[in-house]
Structure 1
Amino acid sequence: MSRAWGWPAWFTILVAIGLASILHLAVGAKSIPWSDVWQALVAYDAGNADHSVIQGARLPRLWMAVVVGACLGLAGVVMQAVGDNPLADPGILGINSGAALFVVFGLLVLPGNDMTMIPLFAFGGALVAALGVMLLAGRSHNPVRLTLSGAMMAALFSAITAILLLLDQQGLDSLRRWLTGSLGVAGATRPTWLWPYVVLGMLLCLINVRALNAYRLGSQAAASMGVNVLKMRLVSLAAVVLLSGCAVALAGPIGFVGLVVPHTARLLVGHDLRRLLLATPLLGALLLILADVLARTLVSPYELNTGIVTALVGGPVFVALVLRKQE
């Protein structure tokens, strides 16, 4: 039985995010002293090249990491709560792949679309993928069946995406990095028009928190406590679609964040969904900030995609959870 640390856990998380953020701004193709990072934030000098790098490139990328990590962390904990499945994750269950397929199809095949349509395509793909996985898994709450259904949908969507890109080599070149999950390919202005979707997805999670907590006791127990189980599932589905769609629209299909973060959060703050819905966006942001730091420094002066780093971290965790489930 995991034990919550209480307020020291929250203090540790916030301090870690602060230090990781400063590290994220300081390292890269060019290392910048921490004192200069601080000056760029509080006393920006347009004539200073280092200040321009921080304000023009690294700070927008840091915000991207925070938003994407928070969205994926929240989506993961909601999926695990509703599906009663510790292996649930937007990437593993094919939701990210569905969103990516619809984005690629919308931009490369449908005429007259521009970047402002990316969220709508991503939401549509995430919804189709989520519904497909639910239909394949049926009414059973078997985690293995749900995971296998998601893996099959992810493979199908990825294969169709690959076919579309092979038919359009120019599109392949422009979307190659985005499809493996990269915080460096999004424009600095994109989060501005994604904020309403992000906020709506988070609000749906908060509105649903009491029902999710009751659902931990089982669907029959929750119904006896006055919870409308169907409504709870539909609201949860809408929240997951919005949050996953925003994450894919910003940085492509980054996997395993929604798997690792909820389990880490339970170790720190316990199993109460009221605490988890606050802790998972913070831990998701922290994980993606650190992953992006590693992506920019592991093979310097070259840069890995952030999704590759999260896969290297999340893959072993996924295997460990599967083996633990079988014991």
Structure 2
Amino acid sequence: MRALRYPLIGTAVLLLVAPVPVRAGNRGIIGGQAVKVADVPWTVALASRERFGPVRSGQFCGGALVSRTTVVTAAHCLSREVLGVEMSEAKDLRVIVGRDDLRGGAGKEIALKDAWVNPAFNPETNGGDVAVLTLAEPVTDKAPIAMAKEGDAAYKPGTEAGVYGWGDMFGNGAYSPTLRGALVYVMEDGMCRQAYPGGPEGVYQPSTMLCAGLPRGGRDACQGDSGGPLVARGRLVGLVSWGSGCAQAGRPGVYTRVSAVAALVWAHSVDPAPGAAPPAAPPPAQPPVAPPVRPPAPSVAPSASPQVAPPAPGAGKRPGRRPRWA
């Protein structure tokens, strides 16, 4: 069964209570191993000590850096259900980059300049589960990851993919203090439909979702990894979204299909999409138009031809037009 909806009060509290079923909002890495963030520098953590306490830097979700100032994550990570308050009331939301061990102080914690949560996100179906975070300062020492476009071979069933995060390692509330990753495989849409045909376990929508895992189970995302990256062929293909249980046979993890939301991401990013033409430079300013210089009255007889001075530079030319985007 897909989980009932419990707001995440804080990692320290979750570790003290009985494990809850997993649903959108509560996903982590099972069957994986330790990973260095230097090898996956685009993997970031979302954190709020105010909402989740100081343990593990206040981490509660994951995300992926797709440009110097843009992080993508799951929409449900910023819901009232997860934060316990409206997003606007969570004053200390941070993105942590470059930190393997959440108990330490390596890397950097960056405040948010803006956050856009997909208004079309449906918490009942989990469709449209994407949000865009704009960092208050650019990340200059970490390489962003490219988002795989529609038709990319990275979406082909059977493709190896890696999923990364700091979440539950065993499905029992044992959150990892260090970054972990697991090797999974992109699965056929037919298998995903069979796993999630509808009802309380959720419905798989291939146009906006993809699923990944192992048919026998054993490796998966779990509690605490929501919004984290699923990467295949070096490109971002999915964001951890939802599933039934963790690493169970016949119940793969379901991810937001990145190709279905990439346009939304770039529409709400302050950075241009890769390959986009840079804005046209304004034309060079023209020198001011000087009026014609009139010579003094000639001191010749009326019958003589007047002396005409040459025009001043720029005289007679129209000043440069102001471009419409200025």
TM-score normalised over the length of structure 2: 0.24
Bigger radius of gyration: 2
Q: Flag the structure with higher helix content.
A: 1
TM-score normalised over the length of structure 1: 0.24
Using CA pairs below 8 Å that are at least 6 residues apart, which structure has the higher relative contact order? 1
